[in-house]
A and B are shown apart, each in its own frame.
Chain A
């Protein structure tokens, strides 16, 4: 048996079945782009689009983690505050290491490592409380959301933590430069998205997440280690928050108690718009990517036109979320 023959034989049949359920978010995205083009000639420019995508990539990377957590029937409300703490600690670590390591990439790399590590640890904490402590995910992460938020305020002493200017200069390119004209955040976002999609669809971990979210008992009786899979989703979420933050820090070079506020809701919104079910059991990583980009575009388009106040951004996003869920339910009954 050759490796590719049966796969290519099986794929087209499935790929061509276009229905509203899969095409919905894509359709909405296409409509938004069309709308943007008609409203402002600056919309469909390379600069504007890369700008929107680069900004969306933080939320996007976090939302990909959230896709796994939600698919497995969980929820993580702490990601916004977690991002703030990670940003704060990263800055402190880098500043603190300057005397020993000097100004340069080694400091930045150490800071990145600290960020990812801290994200993982935060994920372990959330996950352990939920799986071993048997506390509802909503409650645990509501708690850690408060804890992380107040920690960053404490670390910043109520103000702002700023990265040493010289280190910030070294670090800057990670946000502002790119490869072949594509900013690094977009590249990382794309890589994480593709990897996430593959993990969700083509690994046992992804399948186990869907099984657990769909019916935990069935998963247990099917020899899935429910607690471990759950724990892993929270660790993955934490690590991805770390990844998002290490792209975010060079953008402003600072962190304060307002860093990452409401990111958790934007991430969850992106996941839901993308067609992942909030009660778990079915997740789509590419849908999440589309969902996050939709949210980003709404803000951008509102800023580029003058008919409607951009202050209504939140309202539009809210309408889109509700519409998305309504549409998905409609087709399930039909």
Chain B
């Protein structure tokens, strides 16, 4: 397939025969890429295909091993470490890159602070920060510290920061991975506003419908090779997915096997009250997949963290396998067979500066003790098993986990959680940043676990995922349980109505409005 558009004469930024190796390891092979003013050009590909590496090269954060980059028709060497921002090329990294102790306003103006008489013009920066956040419909105080924000809000701050620069080329690496549907739509509005002004946008996402909606052209990468650059009008999500993984993708979601009606309850939560959680009650049966839907910030993570003992519980009762459970330490919940997988893999899930092995076994070191001492060979075996089971692709097991592609980090974290051999698993955004091929794998793993008699709670902001996987769906809104959907009621419209507060629960007796 060839380029859908004409020549690259009008391209603002283009790459010609770019190759990149990290040490001995090649990750990109002779890639051609270009972007024109006013265009949204999407890059897709499996985890580890080289998308992030390509756009880091396009914005100067990495230098190509060979090949050239042209900006405004002239061959250039982009300055490293974000120096290209001054030239109008702004990158939003896949992993959030904010200084945790700065305020929102500080972060947005970091490196180009406004000054008056040589001193920082704090008031003006705060005002403008508030203005940008306003256009993004984000409700955060410009004086709030970054470390107090949710992941989604942090992402919005990153976006605000990028948008507020006079970018000519805006590069976004999976900006929507942590955003809800509503937030994504706001972001898209802003992107359209920018492209209308002639800004070129490079956009990476694993969500194919977003790509279809937003992009004019799509470049598909597979294992560091350029597969094709095509116009989206000629494509369907299925055909893109096929190009990405190189095989046909049928049955993204495995068939649902409802648990028996008389299956025992393995987890009961009664009137749980905690920070961000107001009087939540629900049950989980053996072999059930229970979806948790809701807008970001609706308290789903807070419920999970209060259950496993990560955060303080104000009141309410929890029963695991019929026994009262008062977990005040995560270790207790793990011992009781209840595991929680965080959605914040960089901040709470993985030790980025360590290798795969210590990360995998961190939760379960006890299993690898021999005579009171750790047995590296036993850990090594566990790693081999996990790599096979979850298809973790690292070219070298000693590489720091921070260097794995985002999707492979996610799979490693799943492996780490499953090492505890839990009976009940709470997965918070289990497929964040994962490509469709791997998503399918993970969905089948989840279904297989349920069929084995494990019980699973899937917290997800991807509506399709919740619908495709869950036997029942709990919808949360503002810290409360807004409704529980079963069988044919599980539809996008129904979930949205509860999540947005248009509809309150009718049939769940324990819910107060």
Contact = CB atoms under 8 A, between A and B. Distances in A.
A217 interface: yes
Most interface-central of B331, B352, B354, B366 (chain A CB within 10 A): B354
Given A204-B365, A207-B358, A223 B351 contact: no
Nearest to A206: B374
A38 interface: no
Determine chain B's interface SS by DSSP, over half rule. Answer: helix
A210 interface: yes
Name the interface size band of chain A: 20 to 34
B247 interface: no
A252 interface: no
B373 A198 contact: yes
Given A211-B362, A225-B329, A282-B353, A218 B376 contact: no
Contact of A203 (B342, B358, B374, B416): B374
Given A210-B358, A225-B329, A218 B373 contact: no
Contacts of A218: 347-351, 362
Given A207-B358, A207-B365, A214-B351, A10 B374 contact: no
Interface string B358-386: 10001101100110111111101100000
B310 interface: yes
B353 A281 contact: yes
Interface string A201-216: 1111001101100110
B377 A6 contact: yes
A224 B378 CA distance: 20
Interface in B361-414: 362-363, 365-366, 369-370, 372-378, 380-381
Contact of A221 (B342, B353, B380): B342
Contacts of B330: 220-223
Name the interface size band of chain B: 20 to 34
A217 B347 CA distance: 7
Contacts of A9: 377
Contact of B377 (A7, A215, A282): A7
Contacts of A224: 331, 362
A3 interface: yes
B334 interface: yes
Contact of A223 (B353, B363, B370, B373): B363
A217 B348 contact: yes
A221 B310 contact: yes
Interface in A242-294: 281-282
A221 B349 contact: yes
B373 A203 contact: yes
B347 A222 contact: no
Contacts of A201: 374
B334 A215 contact: no
B430 to A, nearest CB: 15
A3 B370 contact: yes
Interface in A1-15: 3, 6-7, 9-10
Contacts of B378: 6
A225 B310 CA distance: 11
Given A7-B377, A210-B358, A220-B310, A204 B348 contact: no
Given A7-B376, A7-B377, A207-B374, A222 B352 contact: no
A219 B378 CA distance: 21
B373 A202 contact: yes
B380 A203 contact: no
B372 A222 contact: no
Contacts of B329: 223, 225
A282 B310 CA distance: 26
A215 B342 CA distance: 14
Contacts of A222: 330, 362-363, 416
A274 B46 CA distance: 41
B491 to A, nearest CB: 34
A214 B369 contact: no
B354 A210 contact: yes
Nearest to B333: A223
Interface string A180-208: 00000000000000000010011110011
A64 to B, nearest CB: 18
A218 B353 CA distance: 12
Contacts of A204: 365-366, 369, 374
Contact of A10 (B334, B370, B376, B416): B376
A39 B263 CA distance: 82
A211 B211 CA distance: 38
Interface in B324-360: 329-331, 333-334, 340, 342, 347-354, 358
B353 A214 contact: yes
Given A204-B365, A221-B342, 16 more contacts: A6-B377, A6-B378, A6-B381, A7-B377, A201-B374, A207-B362, A211-B351, A211-B354, A211-B358, A214-B354, A215-B351, A220-B348, A221-B349, A223-B330, A223-B363, A281-B351
Interface of A: 3, 6-7, 9-10, 198, 201-204, 207-208, 210-211, 214-215, 217-225, 281-282
Interface of B: 310, 329-331, 333-334, 340, 342, 347-354, 358, 362-363, 365-366, 369-370, 372-378, 380-381, 416
25 contacts: A3-B370, A6-B377, A6-B378, A6-B380, A7-B377, A10-B377, A10-B380, A204-B366, A204-B369, A204-B374, A210-B358, A211-B354, A218-B347, A218-B348, A218-B349, A220-B330, A220-B348, A221-B310, A221-B330, A221-B340, A223-B330, A223-B363, A224-B331, A224-B362, A225-B331
Task: Please list the 6 inter-chain residue pairs (A to B) with the smallest Cβ-Cβ separation, ordered nearest first.
Answer: A6-B377, A223-B330, A223-B331, A202-B373, A204-B365, A222-B362
